Chains A and B, each alone.
Chain A
């Protein structure tokens, strides 16, 4: 093997240090530049994807306001994205009337945590839309929770009505075997994807049991228009 130029063996530590620093500085510069260059576009794409999901789960929605849920169950309006906060997205139609609230929920699936967003209509006291944000369910099987039309039809009007005193849901959402749906708070499962269907049923059950009463109580608050 012939040496490719440099003097082997006797390179001084200084030169090594200098080269590494040089390359390091150059690389850092390149990374910062490409980060700066792509950041606005990446943020925009991510926001668009979330926006699309929100508009998908609240039918008839024309504009949106974002609220942060406080620990005491009240809501504060926020602008833009906030890290580590529980956000809900209230949707309004052309006249500015509240048509639904989009809520994110997560639960353990067959492979990993499934993240979904669903729309809650405080007027109908029902789930009116559903979209899977993140899932690693088995392709061709568990991932049917994202696109199976029969399964998605469950969430056009899923009953989560409240008890008389409005403190909790009358019935908890639960998944049943395919073809055995009798009540409209039950989720008709997918054949061959029992575990994934059940995971969706459970995570919606848990989330709606907690959120539906809170959202319903704050219905009037969401109705109040900002600055008008």
Chain B
């Protein structure tokens, strides 16, 4: 006979009341220093981009929930995170209308058509970013100098471009992030500058130190799978290190690879998206290694200077299959008995 003290319930047996909104709110806290630093270093241009993409995502989420006659889901912060993440991957001074479009695409194509939060195959922010990259390749590689003296008083001329119009590029310079400088001209940027964000680039990708700090906070609160960033960064480090040792002339140093471009931002805040990443620890290591290998391959042998975005999107695509691959066989079943 059962005693009354034994409480019987079906799984999941939660011990702690952490909900989606708790985690999401903490992710926002972790990203805040990165966002603030980007506003500090790039000025009003970055602020406008971040605000626009976040607003676009939240509005789209609300509007789509309304027309599909569902309860609005903006209070779980996930749309705001998508918007903030998208903004962090865009260059400062990116035209407002394009940032807005990117936000709409992120939520509508990246999340809503798959069925909303929890059902999306890909990281929504990266879907929006990939769309913008393919649609406006010139605008998305138009960078602005860091710590411009007038950054808090003037907005880059491209920011307020009228919708559907071509942005002007008078006060910007094109294609000179550390990665493209290395790819096309073999100019190596100092790793110290890279780590502290003293370089031009997307709003949120420049200061590696703050991104790592945000990641550590989330790991400490047990709200992020530490294996994902660890495996990605380790793979990139090992692979590029091996290449660097083989030929120091042709390949960049591993610390340059680690701190340049969007690798830190992608490894810490995007690849760790709970929906798009695998669950089993071994699968997670595989997932991270795959992204790491792809980043190095695209950066060094591909046509584009940066490959983090595509690497993570491809990683997202295979994540469920990795879980399936790793899943242990149920005791007593035979290999031929295929049933999902």
Q: Do chains A and B touch in the complex (CB under 8 A)?
A: yes
Residue-wise, chain A 181-223 has the 8 Å CB interface mask toward B (1 for contact) of 0000000000110110010000000000000000000000000
CB distance A194 to B137 under 8 Å?
no
CB distance B174 to A110 under 8 Å?
no
Q: Which of B167-190 contact A (CB under 8 A)?
A: 169, 174-175, 184
* Interface size classification for chain B: under 10
CB distance A194 to B184 under 8 Å?
yes
CB distance B303 to A192 under 8 Å?
no
Instruction: Kindly provide the distance from the CB of B294 to the nearest chain A CB, expressed in whole angstroms.
Output: 20
Instruction: Kindly provide the distance from the CB of B142 to the nearest chain A CB, expressed in whole angstroms.
Output: 8
Residue of A nearest to B138 (CB): A192
CB distance B303 to A110 under 8 Å?
yes
- Among B141, B169, B174: residue with most chain A CB under 10 A: B174
Chain A residues whose CB sits within 8 angstroms of the CB of B169 once the complex forms: 191
Take A178-B174, A192-B174, A194-B184 as given contacts and tell me if A141 and B137 are in contact as well, using a CB distance cutoff of 8 Å. Answer: yes
Instruction: Kindly provide the distance from the CB of A30 to the nearest chain B CB, expressed in whole angstroms.
Output: 43
Instruction: Kindly provide the distance from the CB of B339 to the nearest chain A CB, expressed in whole angstroms.
Output: 36
Instruction: Kindly provide the distance from the CB of A108 to the nearest chain B CB, expressed in whole angstroms.
Output: 11
A195 to B169, CA, bound (A): 20
CB distance A191 to B138 under 8 Å?
yes
Chain B residues whose CB sits within 8 angstroms of the CB of A178 once the complex forms: 174
Chain A residues whose CB sits within 8 angstroms of the CB of B184 once the complex forms: 177, 194, 198
Residue of B nearest to A140 (CB): B137
A110 to B304, CA, bound (A): 10
A residues contacting B by CB (< 8 A) are 110, 141, 177-178, 191-192, 194-195, 198
Q: State the 5 A-B residue pairs at the shortest beta-carbon distance, nearest first.
A: A192-B138, A191-B174, A192-B137, A141-B137, A195-B303
6 contacts between A and B (CB under 8 A): A141-B137, A177-B175, A192-B138, A192-B141, A192-B174, A194-B175
Known: A177-B184, A198-B184. 9 other contacts (CB 8 A): A141-B137, A191-B138, A191-B169, A191-B174, A191-B175, A192-B137, A192-B141, A194-B175, A194-B184
